[in-house]
Amino acid sequence: MRVGVLLSGRGSNLQALLDAGAASWNVALAISNEPDAPGLARAGTAGVPTRTVPHRDFPDRPAFEEALDAALRAAEIELVVLAGFMRVLGPDFVARWRDRSVNIHPSLLPAFRGLDTHRRALEAGVRWHGCTVHFVRAELDAGPIVLQAAVPVRPDDTEESLAARVLAREHHVLPMAVGWIAEGRVRVEDERVVAVDPGDSSVNPSQ
């Protein structure tokens, strides 16, 4: 399966995908909306084609997303992974890539959707925090959940220390979730992710 990664920053989750590489999938394209995103250099070092689609160059979100969609389709991408992509995608783009796009979010969804998740977790006094890989839907951070990982919140945690432990778990679960999807081990039914028998010939993960 050809995977396209959308990123806006340093690209540590992209690096986790590059390091994990598997026979069933590969990172075939990395796109950033930020021309100076360090993640593009990571991709280039690994020999992965890169594209920059700066959102500021377009008059509105639909025009930006048309260019994004065109770049993904030109590269024959089958699964889109949002890995630190700091743009909210509109309903038309999401519909085009329905059940073929996933996001990694730094909280145990449905808790703490949106930004500043680590600060909000500490303020709420939760005992467990973590990350979630989910299919993308038009509603922010609300799609069917593929995989989650939890970390305990320690009494002396700061935003930075908690974020670092969560990020380490992100680097583990994101490649695992991509592998499950690429191998046809999961699919979406009635807006829930269900496990699939790998021997079921009716399942085609690239569809």
Catalytic residues: 105
Residue type, 65: E
Lookup: tokens for 62: 């639909």
What span, in angstroms and rounded, lies between the C-alpha atoms of 56 and 118?
Answer: 28
Nearest C-alpha neighbor of 169 from the set 145, 149, 147, 153: 149
Is the sign of the CA dihedral 145, 98, 1, 30 positive or negative? Answer: negative
Task: Report long-range pairs for 192-201 (Cβ below 8 Å, ≥24 apart).
Answer: 192/144, 193/135, 193/144, 193/145, 193/146
